[in-house]
Structure 1
Amino acid sequence: MTERMIPAGDARLCAEAFGSPADPAILLIGGAAASMDYWEDEFCERVAAAGRFVIRYDFRDTGRSTAYPAGSPGYTGADLTTDALAVLDGYGLPAAHLYGVSMGGGIAQELAVVHPSRVLTLTLQSTSPAGPGGPDRPDLPPMEPQVAALFATEPPQPDWSDRDAAIEALLTGLRPFDGTIPPDLERERAVVTRMYDRTTDVAASQTNHWILEDGGLDRGKLAEITAPTLVLHGTADPLLPLPHGEALAREIPGARLVALPGMGHQYPPAPVWDLVIDELVAHTAPRPPSSPPFG
């Protein structure tokens, strides 16, 4: 594993790969305000051991990638989308399998519509065709009350320069998104601590993604996706309940849904790794070329 810095417009993105470049490439695209550390080393190593070239990277304002002043991001949501292409370019990849979680799933959807030649397959986890439900989206259930309360108020921010206080605040902030799988607090603390220690500006990382200007992909565009699509969704997701994943699988042609028992709105926790990795490896296996038409 060797980190590299990849140019992306006026930014530099920190990326890291696992496995052999000769194997099929999977680009991991994370959730908002999250560095690549949330794609745990062991998870990446297991996917690589199954014969995949696994790439993870820090978004702008996370990890070692370019940071902007908190409250003044010098980029848009569209830039985060094209940054994924810059990472592929940095590894000399004309196309890759994309695995996006939450916001990363939205980025992967948009790439599959706007840049289909760069997308071999899609794996969409803990994401939605149109964001949280409400009166204008009656087919998509709203977030659970504990999550709605979190978004309805502006909780006091810790002193992000205080390492101990910041780490405790970040860990506390994960709890409303839990499912029914008991959290592994020791594992979470290790990930959050590593993220804090690698991040150039933690205040910016916890602020800027939430205020970006970009409307995202229009829901009607899902029918244009041609990449083979696997939808992974927790059965206990409190932010985007399971019907959001069901809607994605229904509206993307040929998509297949796999429910992850007890998982909340989170990166895949260790208890579901066997299921997730088996499904991911099978989904990204090389496909035989289409047979020529009879004539």
Structure 2
Amino acid sequence: MFWASYFLAALAIILAWPVPVILSRAKWPSRSPFSAMVLWQAIALAGGLSMIGAMLAWGLEPIGENLAQGLRSLWDILIQRRPAETLGLVHVFAISAAILLTVHLVFTLLLTYYRILSGRRRHRDMLNLLSSPSLDAPATLVIPYPSPVAYCLPGGGQSVTVLSDGLMDILSEAELTAVMTHEKAHLSQHHHLLLWAFAAWRAALPWLPTSQLAQQSVNELIEMLADDEALKKVDRQTLVRAVAIVGSGAGAETAASLPGPTGTAAVTGGVDGQEDVIAGRLSRLLTPQPPLPRWIRAVIQASAVLLLAVPTVLLFAPGLIR
């Protein structure tokens, strides 16, 4: 029968609602933010692949035993003008829906990227007018602003960290090191690419719990990863003070960050719920939990790989569609 398409549809539903809800409420991600980040990416990719794959598996079932064979048969029907009597109206509709959803996702991804790049370009133009280079740190700009503000602006070889002079007047040398290390970790670990991908996912499917919860969770996780990097340079109490001071200017940071239409800022700083993120960071730093055991992290990451493998095997393994 069509059990592969049904299984993919069930998997898409599970990854669209109960799984992201459960993961967003879990406590363990703060103990292993990298593993949680990998799992969120796998959920998003596997969910999208399952949605599209379920419709393709259903639509191509009469003309192929797997995705590759079905697409070859469809190519023959469309290009070679072979007879298409085996394809009914329902199957044509399913194929069309899969193609439209794929085009919608890819177009939204590219459109989001263009808008974020445009926002960053405008922001950089403003910084060129209002900021001055730091005398003590390379690739760092200082803006004349009394509130404590710190964020990074990605741009490949032109990436910069932006600090307000109000922040620099307040922070001690160790606290400034913590802030700089945190912001540079965002750039070196390419967190802006993750924000872009999940912002596009939310813009494409705003009604989907996965896209909403994933964007919020990913923003929290990248802050945890950057905090962990800062802890390699400074002690925990110094980082707590630095986070609290920068957090007191979170509203100004958000206002300065040129958010895009999807709700994700053109920089890694101002996103929706920033105050909640700062509160979560402080709570994690003040009441540290032991990291997850290595074997549990390995299980989580293996589960992420399995999530991606299941829809792929169902689509491409011979005989699983029919």
TM-score, structure 1 as length reference? 0.25
* Higher normalized strand content (fraction of residues): 1
Structure 1 or 2, whichever has the larger Rg, is 2
* Higher normalized helix content (fraction of residues): 2
TM-score, structure 2 as length reference? 0.23
